[in-house]
Chains A and B, each alone.
Chain A
Amino acid sequence: MTIELILKNLDAIEIQKYQQNRYPCFFVDFIEEVIVGKSAKGFKNFTFNEWYFPAHFADEPNVPGFIQIETLTQVFLMTFLTFPENKGKKTGFVSVNNAKFKKKIIPGNRLDIEATLDSYNRGLAKGRVSGFLNGELACQIELIVAVPDIMTQFTPKI
């Protein structure tokens, strides 16, 4: 029998115990559920006060694509940074594939995010994440993220 470890209702303070992203590069408000090693659900509220809206764009504020990717990713990180040995470790992108941006995200929107971890081995996490606005798909990515501290334990020493 496999026992699933489930975490519920993590606020921004709790989330930051698991990942090192900080303002102005911290893009998750709340994690509703993490099934450790499997999935995570959370959301981000985009307010008019976000630092990038004045620049993107002054007359038509909307969330830049790279921030959508980072937002999706930060929920994905929770699927494997919740392994006890990974808690609080830094991560890095290996690849982002099949990114799709279907809806414009504007001030006042709440993006609901669902992340799935397809595999995690030796510091390398593969998975997919989708973001929804009012239940409709807004953006999605497939990605591979590395935990360098773990991965370097398995690389040849030269």
Chain B
Amino acid sequence: MSNLDKYTKVFTEVFEISKEQTSNLKYQSIPTWDSIGHMGLIAGLESEFKITLEPDDIVDLSSFEKGKEILQKYKIEI
């Protein structure tokens, strides 16, 4: 499974959406990506990629695309 597949899977499982819905996905653009859902997303990404995200990165991770940029800091190419 590629990193993109793993990354997408975290979003689809945490937010209970389809793969197609991840494009242009932003914080609070769907009901399940609220403040609680955001904590689930962060926990999911940390678990999937075995990383610990810095607080600033957790706040900055406001969209599906932005998350890809942030994971590069942790040497994870999506």
Contacts from A to B (Cβ < 8 Å): 94, 121-124, 146, 148, 151-158
B residues adjacent to A (C-beta < 8 A): 26-28, 35-36, 38-39, 42-43, 55, 58-62
Q: Pick the residue among A152, A154, A157, A158 that contacts B42 (CB under 8 A).
A: A154
Q: Would you call A156 and B27 a contact (CB within 8 A)?
A: yes
**Residues of B contacting A152 in the complex (Cβ-Cβ under 8 angstroms):** 35
| A contact residues around B43 at 8 Å (CB) | 121
Instruction: Check A146/B36 contact, CB under 8 A, given A122-B42, A153-B55, A158-B28.
Output: yes
In the complex, residue of chain B having the shortest beta-carbon distance to the beta carbon of A121: B43
Q: Nearest-CB distance from A92 to chain B (Å)? A: 9
A148 CA / B38 CA spacing, docked (Å): 13
- A151 and B62 contact, CB distance less than 8 A: no
How far is A117 from B39 in the complex, measured between Cα atoms in Å?
A: 17
Dominant secondary structure at the B interface: helix
Chain B residues contacting A157 (CB-CB under 8 Å) are: 59
A122-B62 Cα distance, complex, nearest whole Å: 17
Residues in B with CB closer than 8 Å to A124 are 36, 39
- 8 A-B residue pairs with Cβ-Cβ distance under 8 Å, sorted by A, are A122-B42, A124-B39, A146-B35, A152-B35, A153-B55, A154-B58, A155-B38, A156-B38
CB distance from B2 to the nearest CB of A (A): 26
In the bound assembly, the distance between CA atoms of A158 and B35 in angstroms comes to 12
List chain A residues, Cβ under 8 A from B62: 156, 158
Report the Cα distance A124→B38, complex, angstroms: 11
Query: Which partner residue on chain B sits nearest A157 by CB separation?
Result: B59
Interchain CB contact under 8 A, A122 and B27? no
